Structure 1
Amino acid sequence: MIRRPDERQRWLPVAALFTALAPVAVWCGRASSYLPGFPPGFAYFYALPLAMVAFTWIPPRTDAQRRRRLALGSIGCLLAFLYPHVVLVGLLALWALSGG
């Protein structure tokens, strides 16, 4: 079945939305976290959520692929938002377990 060009290009606004939403999620996550200063080495772990968002730019050929791209972009933005909070909880747990 050959699809019309407008049907094949519907994924483009979704990918653009996730691309614009990912930096906002990173900023909101860091702004709402209680970390006084984000250690520079931990910034590399943003690569996974941002790679998940970048994966949405691959054009889907089926409806199942379209749903997977939508889920992957959503999870990538959510992880980008939650990452500083997970780091904070991990640092507090290590501090509590070390007896400090």
Structure 2
Amino acid sequence: MKATPPLVLPAERPSDSPWWLAPALLTVAAVWGGVWGYRSSPIVHDSVWLTLPYIVPLALVAASWQPPAHRNRRTCGLVLGWVGAMIALVYAHLATFVLCAVALVLWAFQGGG
């Protein structure tokens, strides 16, 4: 008698495409976006403490490296990686805008003597 292979549900089948390609590209995009954003911002060149929040986007990209067990998990990882790359790209300019806005508000309401 011939043995039949066990039935594998569609959600448990491994994905055919290489799962590591998208996280690798998102990691490169996040690092490049962070470096470009930090270097192109006008007031953050000497403030090393402003690089600490880059941990959050890199953690989001790192979460995309978990191998997907289901197709929904793969989509979630790609979205997390994409959001992390975008945050890394705009963080330095957003911090510059906020610091300039705070300086402008403080200057406007200083009430000179």
Given the two structures, how large is their TM-score scaled by the length of structure 1?
0.86
Q: Any conservation in 1 of the 2:44–2:92 contact (CA below 8 Å)?
A: no
**1:50 equivalent among 58, 71, 96:** 58
CA RMSD of aligned residues (A): 1.8
Larger Rg: 2
SS in 2 for 1:37: coil
Take 1:37 and 1:94, find their aligned partners in 2: how far apart are those partners?
Answer: 19
For residues 44 and 54 of structure 2, the distance between their equivalents in structure 1, rounded to whole angstroms, comes to 18
Q: 1:62 aligns with which of 70, 78, 98?
A: 70
1:97 corresponding residue in structure 2? 105
| Unaligned residue ranges in structure 2 (runs of 5+) | 1-8, 109-113
What one-letter code is carried by the residue in structure 1 that aligns with 2:52?
Y
Q: Which residue of 2 aligns with 1:76?
A: 84
Whether the aligned pair in 1 keeps the contact of 2:29 and 2:85 (CA below 8 Å) is yes
Alignment-mate amino acid for residue 3 of structure 1: R
Where is the helix percentage greater, Structure 1 or Structure 2?
A: 1
Moved more, 24-33 or 65-74: 24-33
Determine helix, strand or coil for the equivalent of 2:64: helix
- So what's the TM-score if we normalise by structure 2? 0.77
- Displacement, 1:44? 0.8
Q: Deviations over 1:41-92 (max 9, x none)?
A: 1111000000000111111111111111111101100000000011101100
State percent identity of aligned pairs: 29
Identify the structure with bigger relative contact order (alpha carbons < 8 Å, sequence gap 6+): 1
